[in-house]
Structure 1
Amino acid sequence: MTRNAFQHEEVFIQLIREQKERFYLLAYSYTKNEQDALDVVQDSIQKAMLSLERLEHVDYMKSWFYKIVVRTAIDFLRKHNRLQVTDNDTLQYLTPAKEDVYEDVDLEHALEALPQMYREVVILHYFEDLKLADVADILGIKLSTAKSRLYKALKLLKIQLQDVKGDITHG
């Protein structure tokens, strides 16, 4: 193993240690199942380790690994031909108690109601604090597509949240 590959491996191991909950939650947002999400993360780590030496810049490691997790999760769903819905209690239980936890149940419901292509842009941009350019790269879409999906997602969320607010005030 070259010195550079060894350094990449050390940085990668540190990234996994520090961000394992985030990677798990990202996988879980696709699989909606604890064990499947763990399998996706494990498969993603294995894939990353096998191709780590091809990563040119260690600065891109985080977004590179996010891309691997997203693609592995999508491949998993295609392979198993399923999409599942998660109940809120399970998702809340699995979410680590950090600043990213959103207590707004209406927002949580509205996010779950979004189509996957919009939800993933919102999650990666707002909950994972990734730049839109990185989100586009991770999802394999153009930056303009990521921007339009985010705009559409925010518009849909606003409508859903206004509907909920209207139901409360008029109900």
Structure 2
Amino acid sequence: MELLEHRIVKRAQKGDRLAFGELVEIYKDKLYNLGYRMLGNPQEAEDVAQEAFLRAYANLNKYNANHKFSTWIYRIATNLCIDRMRKKKADYSLDAETGGVEGGDMYSRLASPGRTPEEDAVRNETHREVQTAIENLPDNYRAAVILKYMHDLSLQEIADILEVPVSTVKTRIHRGREALRAGLKATQ
């Protein structure tokens, strides 16, 4: 996969838009999932994925072929998510009006043959509790936990994406798991 991906990136760097389209196809769902897990909002996740691809395309000449393309594109998307989370925190105001809140999430829209409505309700509530616990993690723990457990990346890949040592990644994942455990216990 890496060799094929390397060839596609080389073609894209030479101006082949179809090659870049192939990279988009490979990573669009992964970046959307990363954005959704980090931001908890489908629209923001789409925006982050699109922005990551736009930035990657605009900066293809800066991509270092000695590193994996996946690490580079994940770094872009993760940084965009962290920027949005920081802006969100700064925008909160007690006087601000709250807009309509969507009642369900993507899990509640999935067809579920074979499960009862009660099982669906319990499952959706569990997903919401986990998503809320993830959203309540500090930004640095959230990124590490999502990249490890939702995207199954190695510690080294996560370290490269977050631009921190592997030991820091291990610490963030451990502390993130502990915070998740505590957050989920609090909801029970």
**Structure 1 residue aligned with 2:155:** 132
Q: Is 2:169 the counterpart of 1:146?
A: yes
The C-alpha deviation readout for 1:96-149, integer Å capped at 9, x for no partner, is: x9xxxxx55464454344333222211101110111111122122222111111
Alignment pair present for 1:90 and 2:98: no
Q: Is residue 2:137 matched to residue 1:114?
A: yes
8 A Cα contact 1:8 1:53, kept in partner: no
Task: Give TM-score, length-normalised by structure 1.
Answer: 0.69
Distance across 2 between alignment mates of 1:154 and 1:161: 10
Distance 2:162 2:21 in 1: 23
TM-score in terms of structure 2 length: 0.64
- Which shifted more, 131-140 or 5-14? 5-14
- Structure 2 unaligned residues grouped into runs of 5+: 1-9, 93-100, 113-122
Distance 1:54 1:116, change over 3 A: closer
Of Structure 1 and Structure 2, the greater helix share is in 1
Q: Percent same amino acid at aligned positions?
A: 29
Q: CA deviation at 1:14?
A: 2.2
- Kindly provide the amino acid, as one letter, of the partner of residue 90 in structure 1: D
Letter in 1 for 2:64: E
> Does the residue aligned with 1:89 lie in a helix, a strand or coil?
coil
Unaligned runs of 5+ in 1: 98-102
Cα 1:78–1:57 shift into 2, 3 Å: same
Cα distance change of structure 1 residues 4 and 119 upon mapping to structure 2, 3 Å threshold = closer
Partner in structure 2 of residue 26 of structure 1: 34
CA distance in 1, matches of 2:16, 2:65: 9
What SS does structure 2 have at the residue aligned with 1:38? helix
2: CA distance between counterparts of 1:9 and 1:49? 9
Q: Partner amino acid for 1:48?
A: A
Residues 1:89 and 1:136: Cα distance change in structure 2 (over 3 Å): farther
Instruction: Give distance in 1, aligned partners of 2:18 and 2:62.
Output: 15
Q: Which amino acid aligns with 1:75?
A: D
Distance 1:146 1:82, change over 3 A: farther
Q: CA deviation at 1:4?
A: 7.5
